[in-house]
């Protein structure tokens, strides 16, 4: 049976008891009740965990770490239990290919209001307090209490497909408010509703001017887009659409050109400082119910008045987005194993689109040239290590880089860590 416990100021105030898949407990108004468990998953990165209280008709999205132990995802869920009633909780995980994995039988439990030592009977189907983010029916305009209406939520059966189609995934742990993806230029009005499900309020576009002109930002995105047009790779006239002009022989051995590019990006420290400090400011501006309370109860990623999510993207979501995310994770205190795992997860997230592109690009060239072209599409450990090695060479180590170039203090580090659920 999944673990169930209650929290009051970090203390477990009562003992849980009940039969298999049914839990009865007694809590006072305003207390939280938490669940955790494990769901079997495949070998692809998981991008979301979802929870339902109406037998799967609507789902509440909560971000899940893309890196996790093989074939298993440990999950947790916290709700405010101040509404007495009987509940059925379903959970499912979604991977970057759009596959869904259900946790099995629903968890049935009851919350019983108490007055002193006397239990008060409750009726079925009580409402649940989600900390200001009540679930909303699909295909409906959302009422934000006088705020301007936004597009409807993406239907539950479309959510996994759209997440996979654009490579959208969270950065960090459960309840992360930071996401990464490929470019969103082709996102139509129905697909753009996925940003409502994730409560994305700001999108950071890392593509250079020529790329944005060639593939403009979708006009359907229900979020503000901030564009940084600096050419991080020192190749102002090249875009990913101009393969026919390439001279593969000039790129050296497979992977050699990419290592050069990553070292080049390390020289743009002031650019990264600007972007990272602006992202950190998103965390400072989030109201208390968006970042969790003092007991660490992070919000569900459901549509609501608070649009506190941030999404980063370039063209393929691999190189520029990859090194920016790697820096954010390191600044937030993640170890290098976690940083590298997040970076390498891009290979699986981009696998289908890369296979389709490579099927065309490698046609008519020899095996050695094919190996060079394939190396341009892959995220490899040596690429990211080349970036951090150059950081060491240029700035005297990452700690000095963080202090002197990024100018990130401990408080800002903590804000970024909270944003990413670390």
Where does residue 27 rank: exposed (0-12), middle (13-18), buried (19+ CB within 10 A)? Answer: buried
Residues of the chain with pLDDT > 70, as a percent, come to 68
CA of residue 159 relative to chain centroid, distance: 14
The whole-number pLDDT of residue 60 equals 74
The whole-number pLDDT of residue 394 equals 97
Tokens standing for residue 253? 């051995």
The whole-number pLDDT of residue 283 equals 66
Instruction: Identify whether the C-beta of residue 154 lies closer than 8 Å to the C-beta of residue 198.
Output: no
Return all residues near 51 (Cβ < 8 A) that are at least 6 apart.
59, 60, 62, 77, 89, 90, 91, 300
- Residue 175 confidence (pLDDT) above 90: no
The whole-number pLDDT of residue 397 equals 97
| Distance of alpha carbon 176 from alpha carbon 292, whole angstroms | 11
The domain ranges of the chain are 3-120, 159-419
pLDDT in tens, 91-130: 888 887 888 888 777 777 766 655 444 443 333 333 333 3
Tokens standing for residue 415? 């804000």
| Distance of alpha carbon 380 from alpha carbon 45, whole angstroms | 16
| Distance of alpha carbon 235 from alpha carbon 10, whole angstroms | 53
The whole-number pLDDT of residue 390 equals 98
pLDDT in tens, 226-246: 988 788 876 654 544 444 445
Instruction: Identify whether the C-beta of residue 302 lies closer than 8 Å to the C-beta of residue 198.
Output: no
| Distance of alpha carbon 18 from alpha carbon 259, whole angstroms | 57
- Mean of the pLDDT values across residues 21-31? 49
- Residue 5 confidence (pLDDT) above 50: no
User: Using 50, 70 and 90 to split pLDDT, how confident is the model at 346?
Assistant: very high
| Distance of alpha carbon 107 from alpha carbon 88, whole angstroms | 5
Q: Which of 111, 112, 129, 106 is nearest to 37 (CA)?
A: 106
Q: How far is CA 51 from CA 156, 272, 398, in A?
A: 11, 36, 39
| Distance of alpha carbon 345 from alpha carbon 168, whole angstroms | 12
Higher model confidence: residue 71 or residue 170?
Answer: 170
Instruction: Identify whether the C-beta of residue 145 lies closer than 8 Å to the C-beta of residue 315.
Output: no
Residues of the chain with pLDDT > 90, as a percent, come to 35
Tokens standing for residue 397? 């180590």
The whole-number pLDDT of residue 33 equals 67
Is the full-model pTM beyond 0.85?
A: no
User: Using 50, 70 and 90 to split pLDDT, how confident is the model at 58?
Assistant: confident
Q: Does domain 159-419 have CATH number 3.90.190.10?
A: yes
User: Using 50, 70 and 90 to split pLDDT, how confident is the model at 137?
Assistant: very low
- Residue 258 confidence (pLDDT) above 60: yes
Instruction: Identify whether the C-beta of residue 241 lies closer than 8 Å to the C-beta of residue 360.
Output: no
Q: Which of 75, 207, 59 is nearest to 130 (CA)?
A: 59
Instruction: Identify whether the C-beta of residue 286 lies closer than 8 Å to the C-beta of residue 172.
Output: no
Three state DSSP letters for the chain? CCEEEEEECCECCCCCECCCCEEEEECCCCCEEEEEEEEECCCCCEEEEEEECCCCCCCEEEECCCCCCCCEEEEEEEEECCCCEEEEEEEEEEECCCCEEECCCCEEEEEEEEECCEEECCCCCCCCECCCCCCCCCCCCCCCCCCCCCCCCCCCCCHHHHHHHCCCEECCCCCCCEEEECCCCCCCHHHHCHHHHCCEEEEEECCCHHHHHHCCCCCCCCCEEEECCCCCCCCCCCCCCCHHHCCHHHHCCCCHHHHHHHHHHHCCHHHHHHHHHHHHHHHHHCCHHHHCCCCCCCCCECCCCCCCEEEEECCCCCCHHHHHHHHHHHHCCCCHHHHHHHHHHHHHHCHHHHHHHHHHHCCCCCHHHHHHHHHHHCCCHHHHHHHHHHHHHHHCCHHHHHHHHHCCCHHHHHHHHHHCCC
Q: Mean of the per-residue pLDDT values for the chain? A: 75
Higher model confidence: residue 308 or residue 60?
Answer: 308
- Residue 180 confidence (pLDDT) above 50: yes
3-120 falls under which CATH superfamily?
Immunoglobulins (2.60.40.10)
The whole-number pLDDT of residue 36 equals 73
- Taking the alpha carbons at both ends of the chain, their separation in whole angstroms is 27
The whole-number pLDDT of residue 302 equals 40
Q: Which of 198-202, 266-270, 295-299 has the lowest mean pLDDT?
A: 295-299
Q: Which of 47-51, 221-225, 344-348, 364-368 has the lowest mean pLDDT?
A: 47-51
User: Using 50, 70 and 90 to split pLDDT, how confident is the model at 142?
Assistant: very low
The whole-number pLDDT of residue 365 equals 85
Higher model confidence: residue 372 or residue 79?
Answer: 372
Pick the most confident of 222-236, 272-286, 299-313, 402-416: 402-416
pLDDT in tens, 185-227: 999 988 998 998 888 999 999 999 889 889 998 988 888 899 8
Return all residues near 307 (Cβ < 8 A) that are at least 6 apart.
199, 200, 201, 223
Higher model confidence: residue 138 or residue 162?
Answer: 162
Measured in degrees and rounded to the nearest 5, phi and psi for residue 343 equal: -65, -45
User: Using 50, 70 and 90 to split pLDDT, how confident is the model at 420?
Assistant: very high
Instruction: Identify whether the C-beta of residue 374 lies closer than 8 Å to the C-beta of residue 358.
Output: yes
């Amino acid at each position: 049976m999944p673990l169930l416990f209650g929290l009051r100021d970090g203390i477990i105030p009562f003992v849980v008891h009940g039969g298999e898949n049914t839990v009865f407990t007694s809590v006072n108004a305003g207390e939280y009740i938490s669940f955790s468990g494990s769901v079997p998953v495949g070998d692809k990165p998981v991008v979301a965990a979802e929870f339902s209280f109406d037998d799967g008709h609507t789902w509440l999205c909560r971000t899940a770490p893309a890196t996790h132990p093989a074939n298993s995802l440990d999950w947790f869920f916290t709700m405010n239990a101040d509404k007495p009633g009987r509940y059925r909780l379903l959970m499912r995980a979604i991977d970057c290919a759009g596959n869904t994995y259900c946790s099995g039988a629903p968890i049935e439990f009851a919350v019983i209001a108490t007055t002193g030592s006397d239990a008060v009977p409750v009726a079925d189907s009580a409402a649940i307090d989600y900390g200001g983010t009540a679930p909303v029916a699909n295909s409906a305009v959302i009422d934000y209490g006088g705020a301007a209406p936004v597009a409807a939520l993406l239907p539950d059966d479309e959510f996994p497909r759209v997440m996979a189609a654009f490579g959208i995934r969270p950065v960090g742990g459960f309840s992360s408010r930071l996401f990464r993806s490929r470019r969103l230029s082709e996102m139509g009005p129905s697909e753009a509703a996925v940003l409502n499900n994730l409560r994305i309020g700001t999108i950071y576009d890392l593509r250079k001017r020529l790329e944005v002109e060639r593939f403009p930002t979708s006009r359907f995105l229900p979020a503000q887009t901030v564009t940084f047009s600096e050419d991080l790779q020192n190749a102002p006239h090249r875009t990913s659409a101009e393969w026919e002009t390439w001279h593969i022989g000039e790129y050296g051995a497979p992977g050699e050109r990419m290592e050069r590019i990553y070292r080049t990006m390390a020289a743009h420290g002031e650019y990264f400082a600007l972007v990272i400090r602006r992202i950190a400011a998103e965390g400072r501006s989030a109201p208390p119910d968006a970042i969790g309370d003092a007991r660490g109860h992070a919000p569900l990623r459901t549509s609501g008045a608070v649009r506190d999510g941030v999404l980063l993207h370039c063209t393929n979501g691999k190189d520029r987005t990859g090194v920016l995310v790697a820096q954010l994770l390191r600044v937030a205190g993640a170890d290098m194993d976690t940083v590298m795992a997040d970076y390498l997860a891009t290979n699986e997230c981009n696998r289908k689109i890369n296979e389709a592109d490579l099927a065309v690009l490698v046609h008519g060239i020899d095996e050695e040239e094919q190996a060079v072209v394939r190396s341009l599409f892959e995220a490899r450990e040596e690429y990211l290590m080349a970036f951090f090695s150059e950081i060491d060479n240029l700035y005297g180590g990452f700690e000095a880089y963080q202090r002197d170039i990024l100018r990130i203090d401990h408080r800002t580090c903590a804000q970024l860590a909270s944003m990413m659920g670390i």
